[in-house]
A and B are shown apart, each in its own frame.
Chain A
Amino acid sequence: MLSARADRWTLWVVGIAALLALPILTVFATALQPAGPVWRHLVDTVLADYLANSILLMLGVGIGTLLIGVPTAWLIGVCEFPGRRFFEWALLLPMAIPAYIIAYTYTGLLDFAGPLQSALRETFGWTRHDYAFPEIRSLPGAVVMLTLVLYPYVYLLARAAFLEQSAAVLEVSRSLGAGPWRRFFNLTLPLARPSLIAGMSLVQMEALADYGTVQYFGVSTFTTGIFRVWFGMNDAIAAAQLAALLLLFVFALLVLEQLSRRQLRFHPTSARQQRLPRLVLRGRRGGLATLACAMPLLCGFVIPASVLAVWAARTMPQMLDERFLRLMANSLLLAMGAAGLILVLALLLGYGQRLRPRPLVRLAVRGASLGYAVPGAVIAIGVMLPLAAIDRNVDGWARVGFGVSTGLLLSGTLVALLFAYCARFLPVALHGVEAGLTRLRPSMDDAARTLGASPRAVLWRVHVPILRGSLLTVLLLVFVDVLKELPATLILRPFNFNTLAVRTYELASDERLADSAGFALAIVLAGVGPVILLSRAIGRGRLEP
């Protein structure tokens, strides 16, 4: 009963998903080979540590980002208090700061040799054992650092969900006598669940994939383990098996999440939407609301950015040359191109899944969205190997057929880099797109189809305009992610092509923090502009009828 046209959607979605899953399939293929004696060693010594630390990190960051992201999103979305308009976009700022950079700045500030502890020792004449100070470079420290820069993901998705929630439902509950707390916990929160879960699982995946922060803090996780086995012990197969294990774990979590909301529908029941009057917080309650929004902004942005600015003050003047402008242009163009491309792919996959919700399609889309939990370097190698194989085959074929060598067509070009970005960051976009589509009633599709619109037209002319806010959010998330991305860029970029992140890394890994601060600050500032612009656009998108 399926027409040829209908099948084409399935084909497209599965095809794109398979392509994007290629790097991960490469990892699995490598993992299937028999490993050396390294596993014995891992089980005997460090594996338990890796597991425990990774799980604690994931849970800690998940809880931390919910605790910051949800209340702030609710305050901004539903209430009115002093400074709300400012915090609406300012709360997003921490996401412009790469996790390893915030780790460097807080270490510089709070470490034993840093200014704070040194001042304490000098003032009170203490020595090392006279006082207790929380150690920043530890597992809890890593949880706090990652939470501070990742909570905006939860905040963004939660806020979008709160804004798009049906006022009618809340009005009914209000007229039935439910107080604000009860409305929040019994209605607002459960209705926003797809977005909250999407935000939290993104954040947890990012925490699992983090390498820079945990490595600097000396916390051994699965990710540091993969690199240690791969490079230190020179065993690529065992490293791939570790990575595969990580992937299976994430896959299981994603499937569980899907199953848990299988029977539920989250779309509004009424088409007529009216905005509820904001809950006005005055006096002490208003002050508390302001404080609740100010703290994450202060700790996640103002303090680290100030530290960077102080460090960069001396090196800034000689940094701003022609080369710097090129770095800036490279970073921005790459991030914009990748973000646009990824958004389109995510729309195709998300909508395709809505059109054809059959197991094969679902599985393909899930498979393509694992990349976010994988360290960028692993994705990069997973991109490098198949592309090189393609190049080799094309080259061999051209040599035989035409007597010419085509050399490398894909490897070492921006195509390889964009491919890696798509494989790694598609899940970010897909989560947002899916969460958005879930809130659209299927009857809307049916109505449009009845009126003669093709499935494609429904997507571009109905869904995209309605979901503009969600889609812009997605665009922003991916843009900032690509801007900060380091490992894949470092591994796959072409000759004579650098980005701000690469430059920052080169100086920081040479332990010239003061020199790298200027470039780190440039990444932050490059991210801030779009954050503000898009935040405005999201706000405007909501007000349109």
Chain B
Amino acid sequence: MDVTSGSVIPEAVQLADIYSIFLMRIIIRSFFSLLIVPFLGAVAGAQSISIKGSDTLGAKLVPQLAEAFKSMHPDVKFEIAAEGSSTAFPALANGTAQIGMSSRKAKPEEITAARAKGVSLNEIVVCHDMLVVITNKSNQIKALTKDQVAKIFTGQVKDWSEVGGTPGPISIYTRNTSSGTYRDWQTLAMRGRNYSSSSLKMASTEQIAQEVARNKNGIGYVGFAFAKAPGVTNVIINGVKPIAANAGTYIYSRACYLYVPQNGDALSRSFVAFASSPTGEEIAKKIGFVPNP
């Protein structure tokens, strides 16, 4: 019977586990930076740039830019954390990051919050990203209009037959609410209306692609870099194919930003300059981002 009387505490602690998912991140991060920063400082002349923010940018583009940058400045160390655009601004404000990545424009409250801590931010558009609508490979629908896409994602259209396909209830896969892409899509494709309450909120872009590939009635949106996932079709929107050559005419296209503090160090400024240089644009293009027009 003693087994049970002790179990009140484990249950309560288990609840605390939920928070520790979040708290542990902070603890581990601060612990490691405590350990690593002096260590790096000890390596002669080593300088480090900490970059935080969007997972759209942080998954492939910024790490590759960092690699290329390192080949020119071999003694620079990068620390890249890609956990969503919302994480960029607090990190910039309290100085734990020198550069912030964001797949959306900073909100006024985020800018003021940074200013209140004495940091004013410079905004640089590094490239554009196209959001591609994907459906299951076996879906007969290969093209949709902007209006149809809006209706599908807001839940006004519930069945594929309503847009000319084989009958079947539409399953909508979206990112979760803390993602910058979630908001961008709302602005770009849905005129700011709320998502259908029947949408499934996925933790990552890859998961959207995976689930759409498994569900023959699925639809979702992914960044251009993920559009080549197996088992999915890239839907033509308003007659425009989502390929890099059509970047100018494709409607679901958004800017990707880097933010640096105005009084930031020279190194991070030179990295940002490198990112928007022709070499940087070439790298962006290779991964599937669209250079600035």
Physical interaction between A and B:
no
